[in-house]
Amino acid sequence: MEINHSDTRQVSFHGEGSKLFGIYIVNLLLMLFTFGLYYPWAKAAVLRYIYQETEFEGSRFAFHGTGKEMFKGFIKAVGIFLVIYAILILAVWSQNNVILSLGMLTFYAAILLLIPVAIHGALKYRMSRTSWRGIHFGYRGELKEFVQEFVIGGLLTIATLGIYSFWFTVKLRKYIFGHLRFGNIGFAYNGDGTEYFKLHVKGYFLSLITLGVYFFWYVKDLFAFFIDNLEMNQEGNVLKFRSTATAGGYFKLIAGNLLIIIFTLGLAAPWATVRTINFIFSNIVIEGALDTDKIQQTEMDYRDATGEDISDMIDIGLI
């Protein structure tokens, strides 16, 4: 039995730019020769690599998704997008104002519906395919509930000319993390919409006043708002997440990545990616008592997740 009572823990990343570069190059070649159809396999390879190099308490994470599984979602997504864009293009072509407005309406309604479906599918798929020490993550959100929340929030955001978006974002995070599982460990997000709004107002105006210098404090605050409000719960034992990112750290990250990308014309992008992942993980501390031996496998609906992913086309950037 190993009960680790040490108070703080971190996730660490061991990936190397050169290895990621190799994967990118092979991916690019294969995508080129398959006219892009290789994309799902390329994506699976990158995810597998990144997960394999991510370590927590001495064990690596694993991504179990396969190109074949993702290919189905990819084809679905391409089909759906073709249909949606075909409607829009036909409406524009008709040069009839009634048809045009109807077409636009259908287009935006479809997008508004598709985003939550994509987020839900991607979460469900990605989480079920993520494991650590053989224990799988899981997302237990209900599609109907989530779409409902998303559409209501989206319409409110439009009606308030975007002001509601801050409360909306926080609400979505609460829903998503509230339904996230890692075995018998649950998650929660405790952010407050008003606080998030204030943070953005402050960040926006101070960035303007300081001619952008404040921007690095702004992104640091946003990151902290995301991380500090996260918690994990293992059978009543609460673990808190804490951000240690600083404005200076963000400056180094962003400036460095810019230089790397500009001077290599984008070729060294994998090194920038590695720097970013390193930065994120090294600035998250998990506090509280965790029994790393007592995590139980709970997510048994592994198979159900297949084919639920229309994700990706609207890339929501989950790592």
Please give the residue ranges that form the binding site for other proteins (CB under 8 A): 14, 19, 22-23, 25-26, 28-29, 32, 41, 45, 48-49, 52-53, 58-60, 62, 132-136, 183, 257-258, 261-262, 265-266, 269, 272-273, 292-297, 300, 302-303, 315
Nearer to other proteins, 39 or 225 (CB): 39
> Closest separation between CB of residue 80 and other proteins, Å?
19
The CB density around residue 4, as the number of other CB atoms within 10 Å, is: 12
Q: Work out how close the CB of 292 gets to other proteins at its nearest, in angstroms, rounded to a whole number.
A: 6
Q: Name the residue type at position 188.
A: A
Helix (H, G, I), strand (E, B) or coil at 157: helix
For other proteins, the closer of residues 61 and 197 by Cβ is 61
13 strand-pairing partners = 54
CA distance 187 to 250: 27
Least gap, CB of 190 to other proteins (angstroms): 25
The nearest distance, CB 103 to other proteins, in angstroms, is 16
- Name which of 152 and 307 has its Cβ closer to other proteins: 307
Let me know: does 41 contact 30? Beta carbons within 8 Å: yes
Q: What is the amino acid identity at position 30?
A: L
Tell me how far, at minimum, the Cβ of 135 lies from other proteins, in Å: 5
- C-beta separation of 83 from 114 below 8 A: no
Write down the least CB distance from residue 107 to other proteins, Å: 19
Reduce the DSSP state of residue 76 to 3 states and report it: helix
Residue whose C-alpha is closest to residue 21's, from 41, 46, 40, 39: 46
Q: Which is nearer to other proteins, 25 or 109 (CB)?
A: 25
Q: Which is nearer to other proteins, 25 or 82 (CB)?
A: 25
| Residue closer to other proteins (CB basis): 117 or 185 | 185
Q: In what order do the strands lie in the sheet with 284-287?
A: 8-9, 284-287, 237-243, 230-234, 185-189, 180-182, 135-139, 130-132, 59-63, 54-56, 11-13
